[in-house]
Structure 1
Amino acid sequence: MDHEELPSAGEWTKRRMTDGSGNGSSPEHGFVVVDGLRLHYLDFGGEGKPLVLLHGVTSHAWVWRYLAPHLTHRRLVALDSRGHGDSQWSEGHQYETEDLASDVVEFIDVIGLGGVDIVGGSWGGLVGLQVATRVPNLVDSLTMIDIPPSFPGPASEVHTDPGSDPNHARSVAYLRDTAEYMDEAIGEALAAFGVRPGKNGRLYTKHDDYFHEQRPHRAVDYWEELESLRMPVLFVRADNSTHLSAPVAERMLQVAHNAQLVTISETGHRIPTDNPVALGRVLRDFLGP
């Protein structure tokens, strides 16, 4: 796949805090207090209609960085979910999908976005589904990226990720090993944004340790919620998905009332970073001007 339009990791890191030339360049950082937690978000700017971006489990708002240049006609706002990125952790491990959805509803109100479109990757798609179900008058459209409305497996699992490690290269290697189609420059940049300094010069992944063993989204069953939606819904599936099978995606298309299904080729589960060019094209076609 062609990544010639994407800057190198070094260029990207240099530009991330200095280039303010509009949507797709360096975003503004913001913080809000929601449900007693200080949540961080990135505002990529733009004068168009607000598009709220929700990441998946153990991820962070920066995963949308490479999609932003392909949606310059919209105001992109990416939230770090509680327990992720630069947002505060929940001391009581209140990380159910419903908890995150409540955060999003209040977040949209606090920063005054009004009616929005929501794009959610993986778990973020389920969070967006909950938001759209609760306040349908607030959500004009919903895009769910590579995620089914229910899972057969348990919520309690043990997952291997870099955890704490002094070697940035190991974080890059982890992303490369678990994201076959990701451009190496993107992997390097995401690894840089996905860790924080800790004791003895070690680096720690920027999410609550709770998520090393728990995947709250695997405990949900949202088929009824999906059926209840009336706004336009887009399902985006990776052709090499490990999460959303083709038969389940087709069932989702039949259950939803006003839905489209698009499969993106040469892509794994992390579509926003595996193939941001194709995803941007799909979203422009779906969202319109």
Structure 2
Amino acid sequence: MVRRIDLTGADGVRLAAWEFADPPKGPGDDGAEPVQGVLLLHGLMGRAAHWADTARWLAEKYRPVALDQRGHGHSDKPAAGPYTREAYVADAAAAIEQLDLGPVALVGHSMGALTAWQLAAERPDLVRALVIGDMRASALGAASQREWESWFGTWPVPFATLADVRRWFGEDDPRVERPNPARGAFFAEVMCESPDGWRPVFSPRQMLAARETWVHDAHWDTLAQVRCPTLVVRGPDGELGRAEAQEMVRVLPHGRYAEVADAGHYLHYDQPEAWRAAVEPFLSEVAPTP
């Protein structure tokens, strides 16, 4: 069962969250300890549906909820924003509080991982454990932002069919070094049909605005402030290099490292079983079910 829940962001933005199973009950009757909540945060251009496979196995023991962050999925996409770091972090905190999930295990991918560790640093009362999926702590710089702006300009939108979406992002995209069906499937999830073809559910302009607020800065200071157990996960073909990942683990007061073999940036999509094998034992140890 998948249930949609409408939430309110810190500044009144309507947020859509998705619970992938009935909230499980803890042992006993009245006063039973609630089952551990898990909040799943997608990356830039992502959506809650990207966590469906992860949420299914999490639902065997936990209460997993995936959030469509502002500007993404079914959540509001206000023309004027804001699409700041503060707004994304405040939205995640509001979701935890309104859903009564905390202290939560936070699982984030890419930009969602940055939001997760910034929230863990600012609101340790809300976060019990943290999983960082392929997100760098170092600054990427202005050149990276210009490359992204140019990349959006290469998209042949509208796409005639979803098969064209999968083929372009998985094979023909100039950023693809070798065919990657998982990448094509990832982007097919964020397209919607319009009268002239298939277009992204998000605004590229808003995605660039969101990225602008973190791409120029390093985030080591907030990483060092995270006090809960934290797992840093990367794929060998992802954006987070091994040396930087291991330095992140060193900076974290309670950091650990895991690698998903044969995975790229979309590691939970590339290798879902290996992703589970990396993450599940960590959560079982640091965020046990009652």
In structure 1, what is the equivalent of residue 225 of structure 2? 228
The separation in 2 between residues aligned to 1:53 and 1:162, in whole angstroms, is 30
- Partner residue in 2 for 1:273: 269
2:247 matches 1:247: no
Amino acid at match of 1:227: A
Q: What is aligned with 2:70?
A: 82
Structure 1 CA distance for aligned equivalents of residues 245 and 274 of structure 2: 19
Determine helix, strand or coil for the equivalent of 1:203.
strand
- Structure 2 residue matching 1:164: 3-state secondary structure: coil
2:267 counterpart of 1:258: no
Q: Distance in 1 between matches of 2:178 and 2:46?
A: 17
- Paired position in structure 2 for 1:116: 104
Aligned to 2:164: 170
In structure 2, give the amino acid aligned to 1:145: G
CA distance in 1, matches of 2:14, 2:57: 29
Which residue does 1:64 correspond to in 2? 51
Selected match of 2:8 from 12, 33, 48: 33
Q: Percent identity?
A: 26
Q: TM-score, normalised by structure 1?
A: 0.82
1:129-188 Cα distance to aligned partner (Å, 9 max, x none): 11111110110011110111122322453123454333222211234234968556x954
State the alpha-carbon separation in 2 of the partners of residues 149 and 127 from structure 1: 12
CA shift at 1:282, angstroms? 1.6
Gapped regions of structure 1 (runs ≥ 5): 1-19, 21-26
In structure 2, relative to structure 1, the CA distance for the partners of 1:286 and 1:275 (3 Å cut) is same
Greater fraction of residues in helix: 2
Give RMSD over aligned pairs: 2.2
Pair 164,101 (structure 1): closer, same or farther in 2 beyond 3 Å: farther
Q: Provide the rounded CA distance (Å) in 1 between the counterparts of 2:156 and 2:42.
A: 19
Q: Distance in 2 between matches of 1:125 and 1:91?
A: 24
Q: How far, CA to CA, are the matches of 2:121 and 2:230 in structure 1?
A: 12
Give CA-to-partner distance per residue, 1:97-117, whole Å, 9 cap, x none. 221111110111112222101
What is the total number of aligned residue pairs between the two structures?
260
1:220–1:43: structure 2 CA closer, same or farther, 3 Å change rule?
farther
Greater than 6 Å deviation, 4+ residue runs: none
Unaligned segments of structure 2, at least 5 residues: 25-34
CA shift digits 1:201-247 (9 cap, x unpaired): 42220112314645233133210111112110110011112x21111
State whether residues 141 and 217 of structure 2, in contact with CA within 8 Å, keep that contact through their aligned partners in structure 1. Answer: no
> TM-score, normalized by length of structure 2?
0.82
One-letter amino acid matched to 1:75: R
**Which one of the candidate residues 129, 133, 154 is aligned to 1:141?**
129
Give the conservation status (yes or no) of the 8 Å contact 2:55–2:65.
no
